[in-house]
């Protein structure tokens, strides 16, 4: 993935913590601008419609929908797998 602030390539392994920062510019990694749902053209700058509004998009936050840009969304994968299993179970 590339840092949204300095555009340098960052290798991130595992979960991004609240205190993690870019090794080059030291900006927060767990903030809206580093999230895959961040979209400045969307309502509240976020494509996740049920996420709470966060005023400062460059500061660390506690958003439960945060997914680092360029990584797999394991929460969404689990949700999709559960829906597929239910569809298969109740298939007519």
pLDDT at 60: 95
pLDDT at 58: 95
Residues 6+ away with beta carbon under 8 Å from 86: none
Q: Which residues of the chain have pLDDT under 50?
A: none
Residue 27 belongs to domain spanning: 1-92
Q: How many domains does the chain have?
A: 1
Instruction: Give the separation between CA 16 and CA 45, rounded to whole angstroms.
Output: 21
Task: Count how many residues are written for the chain.
Answer: 92
pTM: 0.71
- Cβ atoms of 49 and 24 within 8 Å: the answer is no
pLDDT at 52: 93
């Amino acid at each position: 993935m590339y840092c949204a602030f300095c555009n340098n390539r960052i290798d991130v392994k595992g979960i991004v913590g609240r205190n993690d920062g870019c090794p080059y510019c030291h900006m927060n990694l767990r903030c809206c601008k580093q999230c895959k749902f961040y979209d400045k053209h969307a309502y509240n700058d976020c494509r996740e419609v049920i996420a709470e509004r966060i005023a400062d998009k460059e500061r660390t936050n506690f958003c439960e929908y945060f997914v680092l840009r360029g990584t797999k969304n394991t929460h969404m994968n689990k949700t999709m797998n559960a829906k597929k299993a239910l569809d298969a179970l109740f298939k007519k």
